[in-house]
Amino acid sequence: MLLLQEAAVHATSAAAGQAGESFAAFAPWLILALPLLGFVLNGLLSITAARRALPALPPVGDPHWDAHHEPSEQEHHAHGDDAHPAAHADDHGAHGHDAHGHGPKPATHTLPSFIAPGVLIAAFAVAVVNFLRMLAAHPETAWVHEYWSWMPVNDPTGALRVGAAIQLDQLSMLMTLVITGVGSLIHVFSVGYMKEDPGYPRYMAYLNLFVFFMLTLVLGASYPLMFVGWEGVGLCSYLLIGFWFKERANADAGKKAFIVNRIGDFGFLIAMFLLFANLGTLNFAEVMERAPAQMAFGGAVVTAVCLFFFLGAAGKSAQIPLYVWLPDAMAGPTPVSALIHAATMVTAGVYLVARSATLFTMAPVASLVVALVGTATAIFAASIGLKQWDIKKILAYSTVSQLGFMFAAVGMGAYVAGVFHLMTHAFFKACLFLGSGAVIHAMHEALHHTHSDMDAQDVRNMGGLRRYLPVTFWTMGIATLAIAGVPPFAGFFSKDEITGAAWDGAHGQLPLAAGLAKVGIDGTLWFGLIWGALSIAAFMTAFYMGRMMIYTFFGQNRTGEEERKHLHEGSWTLTLPLVVLALASTFGGFLNVEREVPIVRWFDFGQGEALHRWLHPVLAGADQVAEANGIAGAAVEPSAVPIAVAILLGLGGLALAWTMLSRRALRTAAEEPAYANGVERVLYHKYYVDELYDRVVVRTVGWLSRLQAGFDRYVVDGLVDFGGKMSEWLGVALGRFQTGQVNTYAFAILIGVTLVLYAFVHT
């Protein structure tokens, strides 16, 4: 990864001279086909394993499953159930360690270790080949190839043409590299983390399927195709959050993620309908070409389209008000949290906005909404992160907060900054999550040896782990410096580009500020607010990350005497991805050093601003819109103030955490209360948002559902039942006339005949 970035910097400059050379993609369908192949193979293995296991084993996915009677499986719950570690305490007592079998594992549990990372690494290799070709050619237009026609609709009012087409341009290339690159590392990590789980092949199948859908999302050449990937990753997210579905809480977390995402998908769909109704196409290239001509700048239509797209993005990328599913999603295995809920899937919303940059440039109001919501999310989630104790929950709120930064960036029109932060965040957050996975893994194993029922994810129970997990400590430490924005680590450059954009906006130097002025809004005040809020959020970020690191790795070890002996680093599959990601977190920022900006430019060793130049063709449409409407930003006067403030805040947050916590004797979860005062209590309970949603939304929906169920049962069913009952009563009543007496019948016939005759005579 690192080499690639360096190569990017150099080769871009080398290629600058010979631009215009045609770009020929190298079998980009392979990038998609390989993970799909992995899914099919692992899926078949999973089915085989499940079938073979039928008589002897309970269904796969059972965290309580006991290898006691199955010698071909090794001990499985060294670390599997990291969402509910205490649950293990019960079944530990039932058997001794010697009861675990140590025979060879069946092929169904060994093959996925090669297939799953193998296909990913192969896909990454194909992506790299394409990347190098693109680097050499630096095409100004996107490479689009339609493999087959998917949804041809002929209609007199307008034809819908959606093909199964791949679009390879600089943005999708970058995303593909991140997904396959970081994805490969996380797959390798998963081998070490999950191989003892009875559902291992199923896990790998889901993971491969996820990568396939994620690549569909970024490589699709139209909104509907993107939506296919969008829904597919949602499905895989649901499947993997609820991977240990025997635990009710895990299954519920999966459902929560799925349902909250449906709200966002509604927005995505409406936006697509609006686009088609107004432009008659949904292919990216055509939309970006026709939009400036057929929709009014700042008009209601384009604003509505952008706001609905943002609703979709808010669902997928966990922004206010739809962020609540992401912290719960930590119920899944930790590598899943790293891959899906930190590095790739949750950034799909940022990708969507960056992909639609032309549209968002045309809708200043919608852009401002995106920026404000992103900023609010950044500071809100960061403040919750201050008082969480679960290591994964801290990282989850951190992810929500960092996604807020990205949305603030793309909302302000700083698309490159947003994508840049997306990329660096993928590095350092994946590193942090995998590091937390390694910590939990070690904690679990240690606690497992003594049958302790301590919470293996509570940072209060850790402490001093740097002596036992040195590699994890150093890699997570680097990632922490990166996320805190300490130069020269990756997060420093990307985050400062975002706060710098807000600073420029506050001085009226952003195109969006001019655009807002055009529709009669003074944006400078808003941008000032955004800058202030993001700075505070950055400070909080540094603080809670410092707090997490101090609790986890510094001070006295609090796991207990006996457990301490069993604390040790995992195998190379666990540490190698950490090291690579830490390197990427260290050097990734040099990819886009802004040469104009004070302080930052000290780090400009190469050509600088490589990412800006790399993404330029993708954002050309947005620039044209800005120019055509006379809002292209004024010459930016670089200022040292925001950079200096950001560095001070980042270091200050870490320093504050150090001074507050390092001298104090930290205590375990059993001794240390979760919160001490009112403010901490509110933060610990996440502002009671879940409770609020439960009261307002869940119960209202439940109440309405019961009302509807009652209506169905008593009114609809009642009407049907009434018909039946009426027939019955009528039958009983009329049955009385059937006496069986011939005389009576004869009399009735007589009367009838008389009446008929009477009627005949009188007409």
Partner 1 sequence: MQQIPLEQALGLSALLFAIGAFGVVIRRNAIILFMCIELMLNAVNLAFVAFSPRSGVQGQVFVFFVIAVAAAEAAVGLAIIISVFRHKESVDIKNFSLLRW
* Interface positions with partner 1 (CB under 8 A): 735-736, 738-743, 746-747, 750
Residue 18 or 739 with smaller CB distance to partner 1: 739
DSSP letters of 158-199? --EEEEEEEEE-HHHHHHHHHHHHHHHHHHHHHHHHHTTSTT
Choice between 525 and 753, CB closer to partner 1: 753
User: CB-wise, 715 or 732, nearer to partner 1?
Assistant: 732
Q: How far is the CB of 762 from partner 1 (least distance, A)?
A: 19
Amino acid identity, residue 267? Answer: G
State which residue, 665 or 733, has the beta carbon closest to partner 1.
733
Continuous segment of H or E residues that includes residue 717? helix 717-735
CB of 755 to partner 1, least distance (A): 14
Name residues whose C-beta falls within 8 Å of residue 697's C-beta, 6 or more positions apart in sequence.
none
Q: Which residues, at least 6 apart from 615, have a Cβ–Cβ distance to it below 8 Å?
A: 170, 171, 174, 415, 416, 419
At closest approach, how far in Å is the CB of 742 from partner 1?
5
**Cβ distance 582 to 431 under 8 Å?**
yes
Task: For residue 246, give the amino acid letter.
Answer: K
User: Measured from the CB of residue 760, what is the shortest distance to partner 1 in angstroms?
Assistant: 16
Peptide bond into 488 cis (omega under 30): yes
Output the smallest distance, CB 744 to partner 1, in A.
9
Mapping DSSP onto H, E and C, the string for 507-563 reads: CCCCHHHHHHHHCCCCHHHHHHHHHHHHHHHHHHHHHHHHHHHHHHHCCCCCCCHHH
Q: Tokens 């302790």 map to which residue?
A: 452
Q: Is 448:82 a contact under the CB 8 Å cutoff?
A: no
> How far from 698 is each of 567, 694, 703, CA to CA, in Å?
43, 5, 8
C-alpha to C-alpha distance for 534 and 377, rounded to whole angstroms:
10
Measured CA distances, 497 to 419, 491, 501, 592, 599 (Å):
11, 10, 6, 9, 12
How far apart, in whole angstroms, are the C-alpha atoms of residue 137 and residue 614? 11
Question: CB of 243 within 8 A of CB of 201?
Answer: no
Contact yes or no for 117/191 (Cβ under 8 A): yes
- Residue nearer to partner 1 on the CB measure, 149 or 739: 739
For every residue of 366-402, DSSP letters joined together read: HHHHHHHHHHHHHHHHHHHHTT--BHHHHHHHHHHHH
Vertex 469, ends 465 and 474: CA angle to 5°? 95
Closest separation in Å from C-beta 723 to partner 1: 21
Nearest distance from C-beta of residue 763 to partner 1, angstroms: 22
Answer positive or negative: Cα dihedral of 310, 311, 314, 319: positive
Secondary structure class of 716 (helix, strand, coil): helix
The least distance separating partner 1 from the CB of residue 50, rounded to whole angstroms, comes to 60
Which residue lies nearer to partner 1 by CB, 691 or 728?
A: 728
- Which residues are within 8 A (CB) of 719 and not within 5 positions of it... i.e. 6 or more apart? none
**What backbone torsions phi and psi does residue 322 show, to the nearest 5 degrees?**
-105, 25
The nearer residue to partner 1, 273 or 758, going by C-beta atoms, is 758
Question: Shortest Cβ distance from residue 756 to partner 1 (Å)?
Answer: 15
Q: Cβ closer to partner 1: 520 or 740?
A: 740
Given a contact cutoff of 8 angstroms between Cβ atoms, the answer to whether 200 and 182 are in contact is no
Cβ closest to partner 1, residue 605 vs residue 729: 729
Q: What angle do CA 212, 314, 457 make, to 5 degrees?
A: 75
DSSP structure class, residue 458: B
Cα–Cα distance, 735 to 751 (Å, whole number): 19
User: Among positive and negative, which fits the CA dihedral 147, 151, 156, 157?
Assistant: negative
**Residue 75, CB-side half-sphere exposure with 13 Å CA sphere:** 16
* Closer to partner 1 by Cβ: residue 16 or 730: 730
